[in-house]
């Protein structure tokens, strides 16, 4: 069993209060149109169809918030000599466990992410043979991401002790 110096662990969590806030906002957005437009739903009139369109639109937006709160991922990376294991869990459902080895053709690289409106950030990204990308935490500078990349690559490409 390798000692603790030969194991790196990284965690990316969605806090439970954030989950509750997202789900609460979703429930509010789903229910509010029904409450505000309740007089248009009964008795049934020609305006009921218009109210139903508004309610369905709100339900689609609110449902996305509810699903985001329930199924947002917690990701745990464990890097050992010659192996990376990624465990992705959601609040509901079974964990998804993926294991990668250098001999599988998996590679690591540093990527710049310019997708947000704020400042750019850099991430260490694992790319498997199918082209799927698994991203680690954000870094404000390329130097921080490069340091993490060197640390992870050194351990990932080393041989496991027998």
pLDDT in tens, 16-38: 999 999 999 999 999 999 999 99
- pLDDT confidence tier of residue 55, bands split at 50, 70 and 90: very high
Instruction: Report how far residue 155's alpha carbon sits from residue 94's, in angstroms, rounded to the nearest whole number.
Output: 29
Q: Is the pLDDT of residue 115 over 80?
A: no
Domain 4-14+73-156 has CATH 1.10.132: no
Q: Between the CA atoms of 102, 104, 105 and 107, what dihedral angle is there, to the nearest 10 degrees?
A: -40
Q: Which residues share a beta bridge with 76? A: 11, 87
What stretches of 72-127 show up as alpha helix (H) in DSSP?
Answer: none
| The model's pTM | 0.74
């Amino acid at each position: 069993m390798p000692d603790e110096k030969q194991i790196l662990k990284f965690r990316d969590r969605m806090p439970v209060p954030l989950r509750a806030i997202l789900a609460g906002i979703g429930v509010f957005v789903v229910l509010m149109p029904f409450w505000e437009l309740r007089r248009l739903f009964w008795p049934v009139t020609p305006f009921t169809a218009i109210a139903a369109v508004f309610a369905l639109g709100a339900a689609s937006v609110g449902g996305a918030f509810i699903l985001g709160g329930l199924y947002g991922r917690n990701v745990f990376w464990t890097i050992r000599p010659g192996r990376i294991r990624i465990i992705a869990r959601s609040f509901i459902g079974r964990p998804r466990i993926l294991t990668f080895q250098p001999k599988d053709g998996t590679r690591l690289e540093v990527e710049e992410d310019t997708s947000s409106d704020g400042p750019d950030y850099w991430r260490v990204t694992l790319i498997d043979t199918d082209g799927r990308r698994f991203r680690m935490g954000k870094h404000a500078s390329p130097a921080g991401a490069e340091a993490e990349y060197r640390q992870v690559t050194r351990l990932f490409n080393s041989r496991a002790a027998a």
